[in-house]
Amino acid sequence: MIDRSDLGEFTGFLIIALFVLLGFRYGLKAYFKANAKKLDKTSTFYKYLVKVMAWNKTLHPFLGFAAVALILTHSYIQTGWNFFIDNETVTGYITGGLFVSNVIGGVVGDKIMKQPRPKWWIIVHRTMTVLIGISILIHINQ
């Protein structure tokens, strides 16, 4: 039988996996931007890279929504919506809040700002991602 703490850890692991997949988008774009002129456009690698980038672009918002759903699930499993103050819970509130804020910011950028988005939006969205990563590390090491 799975106990509550194991399920809480599992949902936390899934959130981290989604965070890595969401952050993979930036790494993929940075690699492509740096190496696009050097890559052989007829190679199998290039075709695979373009397909992965297309899938990543399509799935990126849905992964963010899935992360928010998992954050809510994880929060419920760990706290039962009984809000209390201890180091682990406070870091979880901060981490979850940053994550949800970044997803909301992504929706605003995609649905309201459309293209081209202002340069500051990308900087804020990526900076939030770095802050979430730091916050996750602090939270799991409590």
Summarize pLDDT for 6-37 with one digit per residue, the tens: 899 999 999 999 999 999 988 888 888 898 88
What one-character DSSP code corresponds to residue 80?
T
Mean pLDDT for 115-132 is 91
> Could you read off the pLDDT of 59-117 as tens digits, one per residue?
999 999 999 999 999 999 988 878 777 878 899 999 999 999 999 999 999 888 877 88
The answer to whether residues 99 and 132 touch, using CB atoms and an 8 Å cutoff, is yes
Please give the full DSSP string across 34-76, using - where no structure is assigned. Answer: HHTTTS-TTSHHHHHHHHHHHHHHHHHHHHHHHHHHHHHHHHH
Q: 1 pLDDT band (50/70/90 cuts)?
A: low
Whether the pLDDT of residue 120 is over 70: the answer is: yes
